[in-house]
Amino acid sequence: MGSFRVGRRTALTTALLAATAAACRNAEKQISGPIEIATGSPTAVYHRYGTAYGALIREALPRTRPTVMITAASGENIALLERGTAHIGFAQADIVSSASPGSIAALARLYDDCLHLVVRADDPIWSVADLRGRKVSIGEAGSGTEVTAGRLLSIAGQDSSGPAPMADVRVRRLGLNASTTALLERRIDAFFFSGGLPVAAIAQLRETLPLKLIDLQAYAMTMRQAFGDHYLERVIPISAYGMSPALGIGIPNYLVVATAMPRPTAHALTRVLFAGREHLAEAHPAGASLDRRSAISTPPLSLHPGAAQYYRSVKA
């Protein structure tokens, strides 16, 4: 009798979830209008990922009109969501806390960025401390790179082993494309960029200019202690760029929306994301990292109720 009751409860739960999923699919047919996707630089991962995702949305939800926005990335994307100018955005986990409380929610954790520090191979820069007195791009204003690189330099400045490098770094705030051009033309000595591996602009620059990556291992734990558990040690392997491997700093990336987004829309966008995983992986290797088990871990953000409903339905 006990096993009968358990079996009946399981069957009822499965039936309820199936009915809910069917209702959501019916609601999807009513979703229409523009869907603005806030990404980042045209040569970085957010833009390639967002372009592929936009194509999936267009095919699965034919009454919608997805548009990919070129932005300064994480910080600007959050601002666009809060103003209602964008409907979907990509953002680093360490940047989403800057949003107004309760204004945005996550659809999924996508993949991990890696903070790079890139210099010319012939330049005698071997550590963050060697940046003292140098011209260094810390990323475009409003980008996640700007925040993460600034935090790293502030941590390096507290290192008791020597003078504070942050005070003497000649900071520039350039986007990815401008940074690669400036390094090539010797207008800067180094640049930071946070992106999924591989970053196309760095790979393209490597074809023209010998480069090296500076190891950031010494700062990952200190950044976790100072700014939260978002920061992880991540290897940049030789396969990424054909350069000697280095340890960067990893930061999870989320797909985020306004909390006011209707539940059926958030459910549909999450379903389309996972249904198109192979297409996303073809657009960029970071797409292959999409995984339902890790996707639900989006601290400090909550999952949007529509996304949570999707995950419950596929768990059954």
Residues 101 and 119 in one domain: no
Residues 260 and 247 in one domain: no
Could you read off the pLDDT of 158-170 as tens digits, one per residue? Answer: 654 544 446 689 9
Q: Which of 252, 282, 307 is the last residue of a domain?
A: 252
Q: Does residue 234 have a pLDDT over 60?
A: yes
Residues 6+ positions from 5 with CB-CB distance below 8 Å: none
Could you read off the pLDDT of 7-45 as tens digits, one per residue? Answer: 555 555 555 555 555 655 667 878 999 999 999 999 999
Residues 223 and 140 in one domain: yes
Q: Does residue 217 have a pLDDT over 50?
A: yes
Indicate the SS3 state at residue 62.
coil
Residues 85 and 131 in one domain: no
Residues 246 and 122 in one domain: yes
Q: Which of 214, 230, 252 is the last residue of a domain?
A: 252
* 92 sits in which H/E element: strand 88-92
Residues 137 and 216 in one domain: yes
Percent of the chain predicted with pLDDT > 70: 88
Residues 87 and 213 in one domain: no
Could you read off the pLDDT of 105-121 as tens digits, one per residue? Answer: 999 999 999 999 999 99
pLDDT at 163: 46
Residues 83 and 140 in one domain: no
In a domain? residue 74: yes
Mean pLDDT in residue range 264-285 = 97
Placement of tokens 């949003």 in the chain: 99
Cα Rg, the chain, nearest whole Å: 21
Give the count of domains, the chain: 2
Residues 192 and 154 in one domain: yes
Pairing assessment for the beta strands 88-92 and 170-172 based on DSSP bridges: unpaired
In a domain? residue 1: no
Could you read off the pLDDT of 75-107 as tens digits, one per residue? Answer: 999 999 999 999 999 999 999 999 999 999 999
Alpha carbon distance 137, 117 (integer Å): 10
Q: Which of 234, 252, 270 is the last residue of a domain?
A: 252
Alpha carbon distance 283, 296 (integer Å): 23
Q: Please, what is the average pLDDT of the chain?
A: 91
Indicate the SS3 state at residue 89.
strand
User: What is the residue range of 42's domain?
Assistant: 28-111+253-315
**246 HSE (CA, 13 A, CB side):** 22
From residue 91, give the alpha-carbon distance in Å to each of 95, 98, 150, 252, 254. Answer: 7, 11, 17, 9, 5
In a domain? residue 82: yes
pLDDT at 279: 97
In a domain? residue 15: no
In a domain? residue 21: no
Which has the minimum average pLDDT: 11-25, 132-146, 242-256, 292-306? Answer: 11-25
In a domain? residue 7: no
In a domain? residue 11: no
Residues 257 and 247 in one domain: no
Residues 59 and 86 in one domain: yes
Could you read off the pLDDT of 192-216 as tens digits, one per residue? Answer: 999 999 999 999 999 999 999 999 9
Whether residue 198 is preceded by a cis peptide bond, meaning omega within 30 degrees of 0, is yes
Q: Rounded to 5 degrees, what are φ and ψ at 108? A: -170, 150
Could you read off the pLDDT of 57-81 as tens digits, one per residue? Answer: 999 999 999 999 999 999 999 999 9
pLDDT at 93: 96
Between 23 and 246, the more confident residue is: 246
pLDDT at 168: 86
Contact 183, 191 (CB under 8 A): yes
- How far does Cα 294 stand from its chain's mean position? 14
Residue 131 sits in a domain whose CATH number is 3.40.190.10
Residues 141 and 167 in one domain: yes
Number of helices (H) and strands (E) in the chain: give both, helices first: 13, 10
In a domain? residue 220: yes
